[in-house]
Structure formats: C-alpha cells, structure tokens
Chains A and B, each alone.
Chain A
C-alpha cells in the first residue's frame, strides 16, 4: 500500500456564542448569518439555531448588534484577547 494522505481537524473555542432560548433562526430568521462579513455563521441542522461555523471572526459585531432578539454574543478571539 502506498502512503495515504490524511487530514487532521483541530478544534477552536467559538468566539461567537448563541443563546438558544432567544435565537429565532428556526422561525426563518437569518439576520446574523446575512450580515457577517466573513460568512462564518450558519444554522445548526440539529437545533435549527444559528452557530459559529468557522474560526474566522473579525469581532466586528454586526451579528450581535443586528440580532432582533439579543441572542448573539461576540467575544474577542482567544489569540488576541
């Protein structure tokens, strides 16, 4: 057998966290996902709620500011906190 290429996944703690009780993404709201310049938020198919999918946050805050229910909190990413 020849050497087989493999990928390794590394984990990061999400800087953007979502209050699942307040988030109304399951009712069709996509405000935070729409306004994120880096396009790093998505809807979790398990919960129907918004979540941070990619570790590419600019901590710019449109998601937090524009969320109609105050369900988003953006922390400064750990590396520069």
Chain B
C-alpha cells in the first residue's frame, strides 16, 4: 500500500495520554481547575471502552470510608503489605482523598453497594482493616466518565498511539509524538504539561496459554507510559517489585476472591482447605500461593461449592457482568459450575503495575514525576497498591497540578531533530518491503521474559536474558509492517523490549529478596534491610543507558510498631495438629 506519511501538528495546554481510568479524571479535573485551558485526551483505543475498566469494575479494593478505616490505618496497612518500601506521603495523600473521590464518582452516577440505611456496604478482605466496597452494578463506569468528559468540554482524539515525549532545552516535557493506528499519520502535539495515564505494562510476560493477547491487563496496555517516561528522563521506582496475580488458569482473568471472599468463598488447595489467612494480593500472598501450587497439595482453586445456591447466584451475577464478563462462558466451556467444582487457579506471567504492586514511574503526592511538565497517574505511577480508586484520585491530583503549570507557563520551542528522529524510527517497518512480523518478534521476546525473568529470580538467567533482549533489539531493525495497525504492533514490540530490559536490570540491582514472590532472588534469599531498606530507581543516563540508584524511603508519617512490621509475613494458615492430619489421611 502507498502511504502519505503526513505529519499533523497541533497545540494544547495539556495533553493527557490514556483515556482509561486516571486519564479521564485528570482531564476533567484540569478543566475544572482552569476552564480556559485547552485539554486533549489522547487514546490508542477509544475512550468509550478503553483501559483496565473497559467493562466496568466489580468493587473498590481500597476505599477509605469514615467509620470503617482512617487514612492513618490504611497508610499503615499498605506500608506493611509493601514491606516498608513506601513513601507514606503519597499513600497518605491518596487515603485522605479517597472518600472525596468516592463521593464524586457517586454524584456522577457510579453505583456502589449501600445498606438499608444508604451507607456504603463495606467488607473486610485485607489482613488488618476494612477497605472493600462492592460495586455489583459497576459495569457503567466508563459511560459515566464519558458523559463527564463531554460536559467538561475535554477534546478527545481516539486511535492515536503516543510513542515518545518531546523535551525542551531545559529538559522539561513540552509535547507528545505518536501516530494514527488507522491512517499512519504522524502527530506532533505541543503542550505545556503532559499527563501519562497509560496503564500497566501488561504484555511483558507471555500467558501460559501461548495466546499473546490472553493477558490479565487490557493488552492495549503494553507499557507505553513506562517507556515514554523513561526516554524523557523520568525516574522509575522499584520495577523489580513485579505484578504477578493469582488468576483463573488459562482464562487469565481475576478469580475475584474480593467479590467471593466476603460472601464465604476462598482460595483453597486441592484438598479444599484454606492455606492463606487473607486473599488480599501481596507479594507474600503470592509466595504462599506459588508454594502451594508447586507443593503436594497443589494446584490452587477458588472454592465456592460449599456456598448456598442464592449466594452462588449473587456471585455469578457480579462476576459474569463486570470487569471480565466472558468468565461465565469460559467456565461453561470447561464444564465448571461454581456449585459443583472448584475453579482451578494459577499465577500470572509478570508485568509492571503499581495499581497492584509497586512498580511504576516515580511520582510525589502531586503526581509530579522527576521531569518538569510531566505527570503520571494510575497503574503506571508508583503509588503502591493504588487500584482503581487510586487511579481516579491521582488522576485528579495530576489534573490539578498540570493545570497549575499550564496556567503559568508558555509553550517552549519544539526540537525539530527529535521529531525527525522519531518519525524515522516509527515509520521504518512500513518502508521495508519484507521483514519480521511484529507479533512473532513479540512472541519470542515475551517467551524469553517467561523463561528468564519469571520468579524465583536466578542471577545467571537474568544475565542471559539481557543478551537475548539485546538480540531482540537488533531484530526490531528488521520489523516489517504492511499497514498502520501492524505499525502499532511494531511500536509496541519496541515498548515491550524496553520494559523487559528494565525488569531484568532493576531486578539485578536489588541484591536481596523482598515482596515475597515479586522479588524472590534465590541467590540472595534474605531480606536485607541494612542495605536495601530504600527505593531502587532506574533512569536513562547521559550516555543513553539504564542507570540505577538508591533513594531513601521518606520518614514515616504513620509510625509502624515493631510487632506490626511483619504482619504480612504471617499469612499461612497454621498447620493442623498431627492427630487431625492422621485422621484426614485415613
């Protein structure tokens, strides 16, 4: 096919990249802060149905609701769940704003479960506090957001994949480059402030099914935001604290113990026995899960078949209409009925995600990255265990912070050389008349990620991985695309390769084990607080290579008592008395 390869230039005060969860909130709040600003929301898919919550969400995992939890309690819980490596100022800022965000969403029309008195129907799932608020009718979240975007007069452009940020002479971010995944037009968008809300790096490991797009995260979330931030000079935090989730085997969607737990369901081993005290996802929980999978009592299941018919119907209604509604069809194909069989579970391939763990672009409590003019929010921004409500809240912060900058700064000149370089890089696969297909390169790359990076982490395997990823880097120079859509997959292959290298290097830097399975280094099996009670940051150095440094954990706002510190290390259900064991085997 022939290509015009047009370059389109535009100018907005603020560009928000990513229209999933944090992005729409950021755009709306930026307009609210200063209605004079021109705000563009850019999405590689379509804002109506993009991102992690394209089909809605079945509950809030981290609601800090007065009467059930305090911001101090929540900050303490997350600090302990994340093995102490937390800048409490960011978690505390979220926690203090959490209820305001819920009330805002409620006013907009998002439906939360309420009791007979009209109060939020809070449930306990975490190890210590009560933070879960079910949303049995949460399938309309995206519709609600879309209505608010229109009302706030946010401009929206769909099907543009952002690939690199523009930087000014002083190092600040002053624009976004990308291309249209249908026409291949190249876009150069100048901006006074850019907010990245591009979701997790969800296409890093290869699902065990071998199906490239059978990921837990929406596969549009390839890690674009991580890579754009990296190449713009921003620091990324604790990438070695991977996202690994307990999922329905093969389907790779959440089993949703948060939904089933308060109704009596739980994670069980093959004997139908509980083996973890708490189903809240943490590195420690994943390690217990992994050990049970590998042990004689494995594999692991979601157990619901002891529940009453009415309860099972409630669970089915929620799970088969929210978040990943094709779950029901998957179970039907396999002949799995919650009433009669336990649901086989497995652990996911690796990814980066601060929404679930703690791997992300470093931000402070104003959603500012370490680069002026650049803000980040949602799964890609390093506020540990932030989930959907944290994405909305940090989107809100990012919108306000970016609006303040855009109201007091002017546009800075665009560097034509950066534009020319990126245009050439992006279009290269389209200009070759033959070469490697993007999806095959991606498959091989992600298989290497599984082979070498999936924990437990072995130093020599990680070193080999770096060689393989370098070779894939050379393969990228031979990619061939026959249309704009394939060109998008080529750009994503490059993103995934960069994320894979970051994952390997970040893991090698931290020579200890921490966060349970997320960073289990078998040749450094102990947690080493003397040397590693710190953040590990990764950034691009002057020579264009990945460099690392330690950053101290901020002094705690909420003190953690010595006896509370290891609460999440005691997740395994205490072994039964020997007499009982004998009885069970008879």
CB nearest to A37 among chain B residues = B45
Rounded to whole angstroms, the CA-CA distance of A33 and B219 in the bound complex is 17
In the complex, are the beta carbons of A37 and B207 less than 8 A apart? no
In the complex, are the beta carbons of A61 and B326 less than 8 A apart? yes
In the complex, are the beta carbons of A38 and B49 less than 8 A apart? no
Residues on B with beta carbons closer than 8 Å to the beta carbon of A81 = 330, 333
B159 contacts partner chain A, Cβ-Cβ < 8 Å = yes
In the complex, are the beta carbons of B252 and A39 less than 8 A apart? no
Rounded to whole angstroms, the CA-CA distance of A59 and B216 in the bound complex is 11
User: B85 to nearest A CB, angstroms?
Assistant: 32
Contact of A80 among B181, B220, B252, B439 (CB under 8 A): B252
In the complex, are the beta carbons of B326 and A38 less than 8 A apart? no
A28 contacts partner chain B, Cβ-Cβ < 8 Å = no
Residues on B with beta carbons closer than 8 Å to the beta carbon of A80 = 207, 209, 211, 214, 250-252, 330
Residues on A with beta carbons closer than 8 Å to the beta carbon of B33 = none
Rounded to whole angstroms, the CA-CA distance of A54 and B207 in the bound complex is 19
Contact of B50 among A37, A65, A75 (CB under 8 A): A37
CB nearest to A81 among chain B residues = B333
In the complex, are the beta carbons of B48 and A34 less than 8 A apart? yes
Residues on B with beta carbons closer than 8 Å to the beta carbon of A74 = 326
Chain B, 217-264, CB within 8 A of any chain A CB: 218-220, 250-252
CB nearest to B20 among chain A residues = A37
Chain A, 7-23, CB within 8 A of any chain B CB: 7
Residues on B with beta carbons closer than 8 Å to the beta carbon of A29 = none
Residues on B with beta carbons closer than 8 Å to the beta carbon of A38 = 45, 213, 219-220
Rounded to whole angstroms, the CA-CA distance of A79 and B181 in the bound complex is 26
Residues on A with beta carbons closer than 8 Å to the beta carbon of B458 = none
CB nearest to A75 among chain B residues = B329
B272 contacts partner chain A, Cβ-Cβ < 8 Å = no
Q: Give the interface centre of A37, A61, A74 by most chain B CB atoms within 10 Å.
A: A37
In the complex, are the beta carbons of A60 and B326 less than 8 A apart? yes
CB nearest to B435 among chain A residues = A5
Residues on A with beta carbons closer than 8 Å to the beta carbon of B181 = 39
In the complex, are the beta carbons of A57 and B49 less than 8 A apart? no
In the complex, are the beta carbons of B218 and A37 less than 8 A apart? yes
B413 contacts partner chain A, Cβ-Cβ < 8 Å = no
B454 contacts partner chain A, Cβ-Cβ < 8 Å = no
Rounded to whole angstroms, the CA-CA distance of A37 and B443 in the bound complex is 20
Chain B, 247-306, CB within 8 A of any chain A CB: 250-252
In the complex, are the beta carbons of A58 and B213 less than 8 A apart? yes
Rounded to whole angstroms, the CA-CA distance of A57 and B218 in the bound complex is 10
A77 contacts partner chain B, Cβ-Cβ < 8 Å = yes
Contact of B211 among A61, A65, A75, A79 (CB under 8 A): A79
CB nearest to A57 among chain B residues = B213
User: B113 to nearest A CB, angstroms?
Assistant: 22
Rounded to whole angstroms, the CA-CA distance of A14 and B139 in the bound complex is 26
In the complex, are the beta carbons of B333 and A37 less than 8 A apart? no
User: A43 to nearest B CB, angstroms?
Assistant: 12
The answer to whether residues A39 and B213 also contact, given A62-B54, A80-B252 and a CB cut-off of 8 A, is no
The answer to whether residues A58 and B45 also contact, given A5-B434, A76-B329, A80-B209 and a CB cut-off of 8 A, is no
Contact of B214 among A7, A37, A77 (CB under 8 A): A77
User: B561 to nearest A CB, angstroms?
Assistant: 44
B210 contacts partner chain A, Cβ-Cβ < 8 Å = yes
In the complex, are the beta carbons of B212 and A56 less than 8 A apart? yes
In the complex, are the beta carbons of B213 and A35 less than 8 A apart? no
Question: A31-60 CB contact bits vs B (8 Å, 1 = yes)?
Answer: 000111111000000000000001011111
CB nearest to A56 among chain B residues = B213
Residues on A with beta carbons closer than 8 Å to the beta carbon of B207 = 80
User: B216 to nearest A CB, angstroms?
Assistant: 10
User: B184 to nearest A CB, angstroms?
Assistant: 13
Residues on A with beta carbons closer than 8 Å to the beta carbon of B437 = 7
In the complex, are the beta carbons of A37 and B49 less than 8 A apart? yes
Residues on A with beta carbons closer than 8 Å to the beta carbon of B326 = 59-61, 74, 76
Residues on A with beta carbons closer than 8 Å to the beta carbon of B25 = none
Residues on A with beta carbons closer than 8 Å to the beta carbon of B330 = 76, 80-81
In the complex, are the beta carbons of B434 and A35 less than 8 A apart? no
The answer to whether residues A37 and B252 also contact, given A54-B485, A61-B325, A66-B49 and a CB cut-off of 8 A, is no
The answer to whether residues A76 and B333 also contact, given A34-B46, A35-B46, A39-B45 and a CB cut-off of 8 A, is yes
In the complex, are the beta carbons of A58 and B215 less than 8 A apart? yes
Rounded to whole angstroms, the CA-CA distance of A56 and B214 in the bound complex is 9
Rounded to whole angstroms, the CA-CA distance of A61 and B210 in the bound complex is 21
User: B42 to nearest A CB, angstroms?
Assistant: 15
Residues on B with beta carbons closer than 8 Å to the beta carbon of A36 = 45-46, 49
User: A33 to nearest B CB, angstroms?
Assistant: 9
Rounded to whole angstroms, the CA-CA distance of A37 and B435 in the bound complex is 27
Rounded to whole angstroms, the CA-CA distance of A60 and B182 in the bound complex is 21
| Chain A residues packing against B (C-beta within 8 Å) | 5, 7, 34-39, 54, 56-62, 65-66, 74-77, 79-81
28 contacts between A and B (CB under 8 A): A5-B435, A7-B434, A34-B158, A35-B46, A35-B48, A37-B45, A37-B49, A37-B218, A38-B219, A39-B159, A39-B181, A39-B182, A54-B485, A56-B212, A56-B219, A58-B214, A58-B218, A60-B54, A65-B325, A66-B49, A75-B329, A77-B214, A79-B214, A80-B209, A80-B251, A80-B252, A80-B330, A81-B330
The 4 closest A-B pairs by CB, nearest first: A80-B209, A79-B211, A62-B49, A35-B49
Give 7 new A-B contacts, CB below 8 A, not counting A61-B55, A62-B48, A80-B251. A60-B55, A60-B218, A60-B324, A76-B333, A77-B211, A80-B214, A81-B330
| Chain B residues packing against A (C-beta within 8 Å) | 45-46, 48-51, 54-55, 158-159, 181-182, 207, 209-215, 218-220, 250-252, 324-326, 329-330, 333, 434-435, 437, 439, 485, 488
